[in-house]
Amino acid sequence: MRRILIADDHAIVRRGLKEIILEAFPSAEITEVADAEDLINKVVKEVWDIVLSDLSMPGRSGLEALQQIKIHAPKLPVLILSVYPEDQYAIRVLKAGASGYLNKDMAPEELVNAIHKVLSGRKYITPSIAEKLATNIDLNTQGPAHARLSDREFEVLKLLAAGKSISDIASSLFLSSTTVSTYRARILAKMNLKTNADLTQYSLENNLI
């Protein structure tokens, strides 16, 4: 019997995933959580065969949760699900230890195939991700300017570029306004930009928003 943990803050998404999984794995024991904190706690306290986690959840992001999971259970396969295109986050999550990255508009068969693959100890990597990995071996020295940002800085970049205020970002990420302002300063410095308008223009040109 497989023990599967699903993490997503939308109940309807969890229900859909559960139905798809149970059709392919009728004897699976599936547990649901709605945020990253509960996800991390479940991984620390219990043994699982695989985790399916949303990338964007209240509080800590799925990417931060992934990093914590890999500390406590380095061999536990984690599939990251997201509404964001592959070119925005796929390489980041794979480098952080994920076993695969799937867009939420995937076909059910694709999800089942991904689960089978990672349960067998392999990575689930689409051809487009494989190509990006081959041409961007070191994101710290190659690729676009936003590739130099940390995961949290990248999150803040996208929110700033979308027109969110410092206080709005602080509230949504459970950070202080001072911390968000510090992230903003780092982002501008690393990307050699000066204003939020510059960030928005850059993000539009690079399909980040």
Taking the model in full, what pTM does it have?
0.69
What gap in Å lies between CA 133 and CA 122, rounded to an integer? 16
Instruction: State residue 31 phi and psi, 5-degree precision.
Output: -120, 140
Structure letter (DSSP) for residue 145: G
Chain segment 63-85, per-residue pLDDT in tens: 889 989 999 999 999 999 998 87
Q: Are 49 and 78 in contact (CB under 8 A)?
A: no
What confidence score (pLDDT) does residue 140 get?
47
What confidence score (pLDDT) does residue 143 get?
66
Q: Are 199 and 154 in contact (CB under 8 A)?
A: no
Chain segment 139-172, per-residue pLDDT in tens: 445 567 887 888 889 989 989 999 999 999 998 8
Query: Long-range contacts: 197-200, Cβ < 8 Å, 24+?
Result: 199/157, 199/160, 199/161, 200/160, 200/161, 200/162, 200/163
Instruction: Name the residue with higher pLDDT: 33 or 208.
Output: 33
Instruction: Name the residue with higher pLDDT: 48 or 207.
Output: 48
What confidence score (pLDDT) does residue 31 get?
97
> What are the chain's domains?
3-135 (3.40.50.2300), 145-205 (1.10.10.10)
Indicate the average pLDDT of the chain.
88
Q: How many CB atoms lie within 10 A of CB 5?
A: 23
